[in-house]
Every structure is written in C-alpha cells, then in structure tokens.
C-alpha cells in the first residue's frame, strides 16, 4: 500500500505513474472542477437553473425527505443527468459501499461519501479504491483529510455547518485550521515530519507529499453556510479550490438564479473587488430568508 499514495498533477512531475495508477485518473477528473461552484439541487428545475447560472457540477439531494437521510432516488439521478450537460454528483452514506455501487452503476460522475446523510457504518469508511468513480469526502482538519485520501478520496470537502442556516463561522474555522496545519508542516524540518504525521494520525508518505506540494495532494473545496458572493470569495482567498453551495439558496432566495450567478462569478473572480461589488449589490433582500437566529449564531461562535 505504500506505493498507492496520492498523485500530484499540479506540476510536471507526478509522484506516481499516472499510466499505472488509476487513482491519478480520478484525481484528474476532480481537478476539472477547480475554480467552480458545486450546487445542491433536488428538482429538475433547480438543476437547470444551476446549470444556467454557471455551476461546474450538481450534487443531488432528495426533496423534503424526513427521518433517515439516504442516497437520492436513482430515477431522480437519471432524470437530471439526461437533462443537463454538466457533471452530476450524488451522496452516499458513510461506510455504505452498496449505495456507492448503485450510484456508480446509475452513472453519476462523482460520489460524495457524506456526513450530511445518516451514517451507515460508525467505524469504517468506504474503500474508495475499489471504485472507478471519483469520491469526495469531508474533513475538519489535516489528519482527517489525509486519511480519506489514503482510502481513495480524489477530492476533499472541508465541512462546516450542516444545518443549512447560512452560518459560515464553522466553515471558516475548519478551513483556517486545515490551512494553518499545512503552513506549520511546510516550516518543519524533515526529521519532524515523522512525529507530526503520528500526531495527526495520517500516513507519513501523504504528509511528506503535502509538505512537498505546500497544499493537499487533491482538490480541496469548502462547504457549509456559503450563500453569498462574499462568502464564496472568502473561501477562495483562504486557499480553497472551489465551494459547495447548499439548497438554502433555492429555499430562501426570491431569485435563485441571481444569487447563484453571483456566487459563481465570485468564485471565478475572487480577487477582483469590482466583480465582487457588482455581484453583491441587491442581495440583502434576496437573501433575507437565509439568516441564522441570534441563538443559533451564538452557538456557532
């Protein structure tokens, strides 16, 4: 297993042979989404709106499901895939490899082994190396991210608030924690990397690769509470490769297209204040429904 580590395609020299290691192909597919916004949808109309707004990928969710949250209905996946021309992602429960098998067979482009759904296995994650489809996994720190990469994740999602309240504070906290650990690692002597990898519970070879690259060895997106162009640009300026946008934009925004288009433009031009100003104008009333209560905000802080 020591040779089956992550592969970097960010520069000209790959650490592992891309021709012999299929993981490199999945990493490349995930990199195609860099600099984009992945938007959660639950209906065909929402999918078309997100595509028109410039989403790089759609992540499907069951509409108004109560109780145990599971993978989306395969018939919904087929309906949306046949109607859009951009990649489609679907969620499976953590550890539920049969849901992942079904999703791969249905033909999704990416599978998100997601903590947003109910957990099927409290002790084990899916062995993602057994699948042809690229996997996305969530994390809150560097050690967790690299453990998921060892299991075969081709994209990391730094996860924040899961409640759909529009509160970005937890996402910012986790992104800063992850990026801070990488900066600490970059300044270490080679001899210190062994102890650091043991401390964070991550494979040494992936820790060493992260130090060499100065970043995670796979694409890293942020998710949770991102509902405005400013939120999206903040995540990009903190070092993320892209963002996930939750369904709260559709549920609480009077003009979802305008809100989504603003976020997409902010991700693409996150360092251009003129674009950010233009896409932030008039959104206060549009986003009036996406506000956390004082009580909820206090808990997050």
pLDDT, tens digit, for every residue of 172-231?
A: 999 999 999 999 999 999 999 999 999 999 999 999 999 999 999 999 999 999 999 999
Q: Which residues contact 221 (CB under 8 A, 6 or more apart)?
A: 33, 38, 136, 155, 156, 157, 158, 240, 241, 242, 243, 244
Query: Average per-residue pLDDT in the chain?
Result: 87
How much of the chain, in percent, has pLDDT values that exceed 90? Answer: 72
In this prediction, residue 68 has a pLDDT band, given cuts at 50, 70 and 90, of confident
Higher-confidence residue: 116 or 140? 140
Predicted structure pTM score: 0.86
Please report the pLDDT score of residue 118 as a whole number: 86
């Amino acid at each position: 297993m020591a040779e089956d580590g992550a592969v970097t395609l960010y520069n000209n020299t790959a650490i592992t042979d891309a021709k012999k290691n299929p993981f490199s192909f999945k990493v490349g597919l995930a990199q195609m989404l860099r600099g984009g916004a992945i938007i959660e949808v639950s209906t065909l109309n929402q999918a078309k709106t997100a595509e028109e707004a410039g989403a790089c990928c759609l992540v499907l969710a069951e509409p108004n499901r109560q109780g145990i949250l599971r993978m989306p209905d395969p018939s919904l996946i087929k309906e949306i895939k046949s109607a859009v021309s951009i990649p489609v992602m679907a969620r499976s429960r953590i550890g539920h490899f049969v849901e992942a098998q079904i999703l791969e067979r249905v033909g999704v482009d990416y599978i998100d082994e997601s903590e947003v759904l109910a957990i099927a296995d409290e002790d084990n994650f899916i062995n993602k190396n057994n699948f042809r489809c690229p996997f996305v996994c969530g994390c809150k720190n560097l050690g967790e991210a690299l453990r998921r990469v060892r299991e075969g994740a081709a994209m990391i999602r730094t996860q924040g608030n899961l409640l759909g309240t529009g509160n970005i504070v937890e996402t910012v906290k986790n992104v800063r924690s992850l990026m801070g650990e990488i900066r600490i690692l970059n300044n270490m002597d080679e001899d210190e990397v062994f102890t650091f990898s043991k401390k964070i519970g991550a494979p040494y070879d992936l820790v060493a690769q992260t130090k060499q690259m100065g970043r995670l060895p796979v694409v890293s997106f942020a998710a949770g509470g991102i509902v405005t162009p400013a939120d999206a640009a903040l995540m990009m300026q903190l070092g993320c490769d892209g963002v996930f946008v939750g369904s709260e934009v559709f549920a609480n925004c009077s003009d979802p297209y305008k809100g989504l288009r603003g976020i997409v433009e902010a991700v693409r031009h996150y360092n251009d204040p003129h674009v950010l100003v233009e896409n932030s104008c008039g959104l206060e009333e549009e986003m009036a429904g996406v506000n956390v209560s004082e009580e909820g905000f206090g808990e997050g802080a």
